[in-house]
Amino acid sequence: MAAVRTSSEITFNRVAIVAVLLVTIIFLAPIYWIASTAFKPRNLATTIPPTVVFQPEISPFVKLFTKRSQLRSPPSPEEYAAAPWWERVVFNGGEKIVRDGKGQVQWSGYPSRFMNSLIVAITSTVLAVGMGTFTAYGFSRFKVKGEADLLFFILSTRMLPPVVVAIPMFLMYRAVGLNDSHVGLIILYTAFNLSFSVWLMKGFMDEIPKEYEEAALVDGYTRMEAFFKIVLPEAATGIAATAVFCFITAWNEYAFALIMTSRRAQTAPPFIPSQVGAGLPDWTVIAAGTFLFLLPVAIFTFLLRNHLLRGMSFGAIRK
Amino acid sequence: MATTMITTLDRSSRAAARGLSDISIRNLFIIPTILFLIVFNIFPLIYSLGYSFTDFRASTSAAANFVGLQNYRDLLSDPYVWSNFAITAKYVIISVAGQLLVGFGVAMLLNRDIPLKGLLTTLLLLPMMLSMAVVGLFWKLLYDPSFGIINYALGLGTFEWLSNPKMALYAVALTDIWMWSPFVMLLSLAGLSAVPKHLYEAAAIDRAGPFYTFFRITLPLVAPILMIAVIFRTMEAFKTFDLAYILTSQPTAELISIRLYKMAFQEWQTGRSCALAYIVLIMVLAITNIYVKYLNKVKER
């Protein structure tokens, strides 16, 4: 902009700043609503006008992790007094925690789905980034016949609609017994993220000056040693960023998980919507489950902020 | 495409005698990935190509009968499938146009000295990183006619969004615009920050008006990157499944992926769904091809 600013420009700048703040508030409102509903007592979750100020409660999270049933009559004072604090908050909401014959608390389906999400996302990320780093180095440093075509092939596998791939995979998995298994989902997510990690890592590899390795080769390193001792440490930031992207993609994935898993290996994204059944859903519990599920991604987004651009464009656009 | 090739070693040199040769390292690094992708992406597609010529149903143990091109003929003459494609096209246009307007608009607003700009940008980018399925589910509460905050904020009373055949598709597109405008914004910001400042200074000296400056300087220079955003979002919007499947069951919002899912996993018309999958696949590959060509063109500059 011109060095001298007219008063109209300054006014416009102020208006723009106000507009940006307004847009940010609108964009964050749904996320804020999830977070606040996760701490509301059930009767305040669906009020008109919406409840904004309230006494935050932990009960949605207790309910999220346990099996509950409706209380027919209020608990006796002794029962209430003997109950631990987390059971009392459930009593307060007119429900009780289901226990088995030995008095053990029955868990809801959520913790195991959350664990499944962690297992599948972490394993597939490690595999995809590991293989992707090697392949990206190969494409970055050596002459490969038909390189452009191969890279297009690699990218196009990522572009396939999940349902298209899922139909034959479902049949094949059924034939070999991989349906509803961690291994099956890990393979799918690895294949899905591998193409992404090759493209992204190639961009990072291209930025490492090849003179580093050449100097190492002259110093008597083998190519392998040069790769592990010179290139990998230089690529560490890129590897970390790629890994976080792969993790988020696998963590968020829904269609494959919906089709390929039903119970044992089910991840959280198909599980959370399945909890909204007939009747009035308890939105505070759904919000609590959503909140816990979104938390890691929100944290990672802040860590990744400087790499978001290249990650979202397959490394095509760099700052 | 710029190939950075490292100086190849003289085969008879001492360096080449140490360890693996460059060629074997290259093969060792690249071939496993290609094989993995062929086995888990291409092989299944060949498998389903075979099924697309049969009347196979995965829910029965009856053997598959070869029916030739019957599935393709039936699908291409099925008005329901065509209406699914039309709905998808409408959805793609609404949501990509909305994302372009909102994303580029916010980027224009953000492209100045603003206190806490970095923090605001990161916060604005948050929606696109979240899980479509899980956040989409929560939008059901936001859209709820009797106690949703959208109707309350806009003063719409008990206006039906998701259970209204006329509004369902727009409601899904609106959520998609919320999720993905940040993506267009991110790319636009990169494009805007790359416009050389001296062009604006020259325009100011020439007393060019804001409209002239925008249409003659800003827009042409940002256009290539906006184009990337548009093609990429078109591709993704065309494949949309999660969001629409979770938010609504209105037939007016039945995108092609949802039709495909229902055909394959609810009606168990496996053979026919494989054929439909192939029709969709060819369309996606065509858009992908355009995208990659464009990426390479932009990269070369």
Which residues contact residue A257 at a Cβ distance below 8 angstroms, ignoring those fewer than 6 apart? A185, A266, A267, A269, A270
B241 touches chain A (CB under 8 A): yes
DSSP state for residue A275 in the 8-state scheme: T
Question: How many residues are listed for chain B in this entry?
Answer: 301
Going by C-beta distance under 8 Å and a sequence separation of 6 or more, which residues neighbour residue A193? A124, A125, A128, A129, A132, A246, A249, A250
Asked if the model's pLDDT at residue B218 lies above 70, the reply is yes
Q: Read off the pLDDT of residues A213-232 as tens digits, 9 standing for 90 and up.
A: 889 989 989 889 999 999 99
User: What's the rounded Cα separation, in Å, for the pair B93 and B237?
Assistant: 9
Q: Does B4 fall in a domain?
A: no
- ipTM for the complex? 0.89
Neighbours of A80 (CB within 10 A): 13
Planar angle of CA B9, B13, B19, nearest 5 degrees = 75
CB proximity under 8 Å: B 66-95 to A:
none
- Structural domain total, chain B: 1
Burial A62-75 (b: 16+ CB within 10 A, else e): bbbbbebeeeeeee
Q: Which pLDDT band, with edges at 50, 70 and 90, does B147 fall under?
A: confident
Cβ distance of A290 and B126 shorter than 8 Å? no
Using the beta-carbon criterion (under 8 Å), do B182 and A27 form an inter-chain contact?
Answer: yes
Residue B60: per-residue pLDDT: 84
Alpha-carbon distance A317 to nearest alpha carbon in chain B (angstroms): 8
Contacts of B284 in chain A (CB under 8 A): 159-161, 164
In angstroms, the CA B135 to CA B137 distance is 5
pLDDT at B88 over 60: yes
CA-atom Rg of chain B in angstroms:
25
Min Cα–Cα distance to chain A from B131, Å: 4
Q: Which of A11, A28, A120, A163 to mutate to test the interface with B (most CBs of B within 10 A)?
A: A163
Residue of B nearest to A17 (CA): B114
Write the CA distances from A167 to A179, B72, B263, B269, integer angstroms: 12, 17, 10, 11
> What mean pLDDT comes out for the span B200-227?
88
Q: Residue B145 is encoded by which pair of tokens?
A: 């006619």
Contact map slice: B 190-209 vs A, CB within 8 A:
190, 197, 200-201, 204-205
pLDDT exceeds cutoff 90 at B298: no
Q: What mean pLDDT is predicted for residues A277-305?
A: 88
For residue B161, is pLDDT > 60?
A: yes
Confidence of residue A299 (pLDDT cuts 50, 70, 90): very high
pLDDT in tens, B98-137: 999 999 999 999 988 888 888 999 999 999 999 999 999 9
**Residue B6 contacts A, CB cutoff 8 Å:** yes
Say whether B144 and A46 touch across the interface (CB within 8 A).
yes
The pLDDT tens digits for A244-284 are 999 999 999 999 999 999 989 999 999 998 887 656 788 99
Q: Which residue of B has its CA nearest to A226?
A: B19
Q: Which fold has domain A110-312?
A: MetI-like fold (1.10.3720)
In a domain, B229, yes or no: yes
Rounded distance, CA B154 to CA A141, Å? 57
Q: Which two tokens stand for residue B110?
A: 């953000």
Closest CA to B253 of B176, B174, B180, B170: B170
User: What is the C-alpha to C-alpha distance for residues B230 and B292, in angstroms, rounded to an integer?
Assistant: 13
DSSP notation for B125-175: HHHHHS-HHHHHHHHHHHH-TTT-HHHHHHT-TT--STT-TTTHHHHHHHH
Task: Quote the minimal CA–CA distance from A94 to chain B in Å.
Answer: 22
**Which of B44, B118, B183 shows the shortest C-beta gap to A172?**
B44
**B50 CB within 8 Å of a chain A CB:** no
Q: Which two tokens stand for residue A160?
A: 């396939």
Q: Which residue, A199, A36, A283, A97, is CA-closest to B288?
A: A199
Whole-number pLDDT of residue A7? 79
pLDDT band at A318 (very low <50, low <70, confident <90, very high): low
| Closest Cβ opposite residue A20 in set B51, B120, B241 | B120
The three-state secondary structure class of A226 is helix
Classify residue B179 by burial, with Cβ atoms within 10 Å: 0-12, 13-18, 19+.
buried
Amino acid (one-letter) located at B53: F
B138 found inside a domain = yes
Q: Which residue in A has a C-alpha nearest to residue B272's C-alpha?
A: A167
Determine which helix (DSSP H) or strand (DSSP E) holds A164, and give its type and residue range: helix A162-176
CA distances to A115, A187, B23, B94, B256 from B90, rounded to whole Å, are: 39, 34, 50, 6, 12
Please indicate whether, in this complex, the C-beta atoms of B129 and A301 are within 8 angstroms of each other: yes
pLDDT digits (tens, 9 = 90+) for B4-57: 455 555 555 555 556 678 888 899 999 999 999 999 988 999 989 999 999 999
A210–B6: do the CB atoms touch at under 8 Å? yes
Write out the residue range of the structural domain in which residue B256 sits: 79-300
DSSP state of A95: E
C-alpha A26/C-alpha A44 separation (Å) is 22
> Tell me, what CATH number does B162's domain have?
1.10.3720.10
The 10 Å Cβ neighbour count of residue B43 is 14
The shortest CB-CB distance from B134 to any of A47, A140, A293 is to A293
Q: CB contact, 8 Å: B279 with chain A?
A: no
pLDDT of residue B18: 60
Q: Enumerate residues 6+ apart whose C-beta is below 8 A from B215.
A: none
Is the CB of A259 less than 8 angstroms away from the CB of B204? no
What ranges do the domains of chain A cover?
A: 67-106, 110-312
pLDDT value, residue B172: 96
Q: What type of residue sits at position A231? A: V
Chains A and B form CB pairs within 8 A to the count of: 308
Measured between CB atoms, which of B18, B34, B41 is closest to A222?
B18
Reply yes or no: is the peptide bond before residue B145 cis, omega within 30 of 0: no
Of A278 and A62, which is predicted with more confidence?
A: A62
Of B43, B130, B154, B298, which to mutate for an interface test with A (greatest number of A Cβ within 10 Å)?
B130
Instruction: Identify the pLDDT of residue A1.
Output: 46
Query: B40 CB contacts (<8 Å, ≥6 apart)?
Result: A169, A187, A188, A190, A191
Q: How many CB atoms lie within 10 A of CB A271?
A: 24
